[in-house]
Structure 1
Amino acid sequence: MYSVMIIEDDKKLSLLIKNHLEKYGYKSQIIEDFNNIKTEFIKNNPHIVLMDINLPVFDGFYWCRDIRTISNVPIIFISARDSDMDQVMAIENGGDDYITKPFSYDVLLAKIKGVIRRVYGSYAENTSSEVLETNGMFLYINQNVVEYKGKKIELSKKEFQLLYSLIKNANKIVTRENLLEVLWNDVDFVDDNTLSVNMTRVRKRLEEVGISDVIETKRGQGYRIIVSW
């Protein structure tokens, strides 16, 4: 049974979501202590988080970043804020999807099922090994960890997905559209700047393990990693 943590300060809406999900076999927890969301997350260890943006004390962006320091669990934002910038900020702060209020419970359920298939089920990355080795660099698939010359660092989910996609296509150009689809499964959901920001983070993380200047930007096309370090 998959568990869903509901972080929403509208008690009536939280209960409606909980009842609907439990009707379809999901275990749901409603968070009421908005001062200690990270602690509640660790205690409940959910498979999926539903996160409102407008919350008491700190907003959902803050708590999403806080959760990302310890976990890559899928986070779906649910908010009445419908601007493009809010959706971009949700992604850049670590969110995986975004639903605007008011919403259909069937759509919410479909979003949750889609995340489960991608992350835990039939659409999850199928790898014959949990470790991918390239020219002395090791990618630990199930841990989002990269290692080079004995130094290990943990990447965020999106950083790892980008690096993994580039390494799987080493020395070849990976198009912008393909990279956006890998990250968010919706090429219209973010812009070029969002992808550029995340790619800059990947470059910096590689520098931390001693690998520099290996990701090329192919203007108007995409990115390529040159495996020659």
Structure 2
Amino acid sequence: MFKIMLIEDDASLFREIRDRLSQWSYDVHGISNFSNVMQEFTAVKPDLVIIDIQLPKFDGFHWCRMIRAHSSVPIIFLSSRDHPTDMVMSMQLGADDFVQKPFHFDVLIAKIQATLRRAYDYNTEAVSLRTWCGATVDYEKNTVTNERGCIELTKNEIFILKQLLEQKNRIITREELIQNLWNDERFISDNTLTVNVNRLRKKLETIDLGRMIETKVGQGYIAIEEGTP
């Protein structure tokens, strides 16, 4: 049974989501003190976090930053705000998905299932390590390590990198990435993919690998090896 931490201050909505998720055999935990979210997060050790943007004390962006400083657990944002910058901000902070209120419960379930699937299922594959441009990519630890250092990636970022590395030197279209990453492209925006790839490349730049992920305008992305034309 997956444990989900639902950080939502609307008691009525919390109960509705908790009860519906319980019907799908999810173990849902709430927050009793919105000043000590991290303390409760550490105690629960959830497999996934669903978090509202507008919260007492500090907003959801603040708690996303705090969680990401200590964990790569999947995060889904909920929000009644409809400004595009909210979605972009959530992705830049390391969230895995974004759900706009009001939402149809089937959409929320689909996003939860897809997020958990890509966060945990692929780690059961036999191949967990791959070498790339002198670096070691660890699919289980979500890390990329070379002589310049070690970076930790989010579940989305390691999945995107894995898709590119499994077909090195071949252009992977944006549509193909979206389909593989989210399984159903109706539930994700093209812009969200851009944010995730840009964030991945920025992290890779810190160990001098950002240039090895190239954007092919109008086509997609390609992971290249050193010495490849």
> Paired residues, what number?
226
Q: Is contact 2:92–2:199 with CA below 8 Å preserved after alignment? A: no
Aligned partner of 2:30 in structure 1 is 30
How far is the alpha carbon of 1:8 from its aligned partner?
Answer: 0.5
Whole-angstrom distance in 2 between the partners of 1:118 and 1:200: 19
Tell whether 2:189 aligns with 1:190.
Answer: yes
Unpaired stretches in structure 2, ≥5 consecutive residues = none
Whole-angstrom distance in 1 between the partners of 2:133 and 2:94: 30
How far is the alpha carbon of 1:188 from its aligned partner?
Answer: 7.5
Q: Is contact 1:88–1:190 with CA below 8 Å preserved after alignment? A: no
Aligned partner of 1:132 in structure 2 is 130
Q: Which amino acid aligns with 1:221?
A: Q
Aligned partner of 1:101 in structure 2 is 101
Aligned partner of 1:4 in structure 2 is 4
Whole-angstrom distance in 2 between the partners of 1:213 and 1:113: 33
Q: Is contact 1:181–1:187 with CA below 8 Å preserved after alignment? A: no
How far is the alpha carbon of 1:222 from its aligned partner?
Answer: 1.6
CA RMSD of aligned residues (A): 2.7
Q: Is contact 2:114–2:182 with CA below 8 Å preserved after alignment? A: no
- For 1:55-76, what per-residue CA distance to the aligned partner results, in whole angstroms no more than 9, with x for missing partners? 1122212222321222222222
Q: Percent identity among equivalent residues?
A: 42
Equivalent of 2:168 in 166, 170, 173: 170
C-alpha spacing 1:214/1:108, structure 2 compared with 1 (3 Å):
closer
Unpaired stretches in structure 1, ≥5 consecutive residues = none
- For 1:2-24, what per-residue CA distance to the aligned partner results, in whole angstroms no more than 9, with x for missing partners? 11111001122212322333344
Q: Is contact 1:148–1:210 with CA below 8 Å preserved after alignment? A: no
Q: Which amino acid aligns with 1:118?
A: R
Q: Which amino acid aligns with 2:19?
A: N
Q: Which amino acid aligns with 1:20?
A: R
Q: Is contact 1:78–1:99 with CA below 8 Å preserved after alignment? A: yes
Q: Is contact 2:3–2:28 with CA below 8 Å preserved after alignment? A: yes
In the TM superposition, 1:34-183 aligns within 5 A as 34-121=34-121, 124=122, 127-149=125-147, 151-183=149-181
Q: Secondary structure at the match of 2:38?
A: helix
Mean CA deviation greater in 99-108 or 131-140: 99-108
Q: TM-score, normalised by structure 2?
A: 0.82
Mean CA deviation greater in 44-53 or 12-21: 12-21
C-alpha spacing 1:110/1:219, structure 2 compared with 1 (3 Å):
closer
Whole-angstrom distance in 2 between the partners of 1:6 and 1:117: 18
Mean CA deviation greater in 216-225 or 76-85: 76-85
Aligned partner of 1:221 in structure 2 is 219
- For 1:68-114, what per-residue CA distance to the aligned partner results, in whole angstroms no more than 9, with x for missing partners? 22222222222222344433333333222333333344443343333
Q: Which amino acid aligns with 2:214?
A: E
Whole-angstrom distance in 1 between the partners of 2:202 and 2:104: 40
How far is the alpha carbon of 1:197 from its aligned partner?
Answer: 4.5
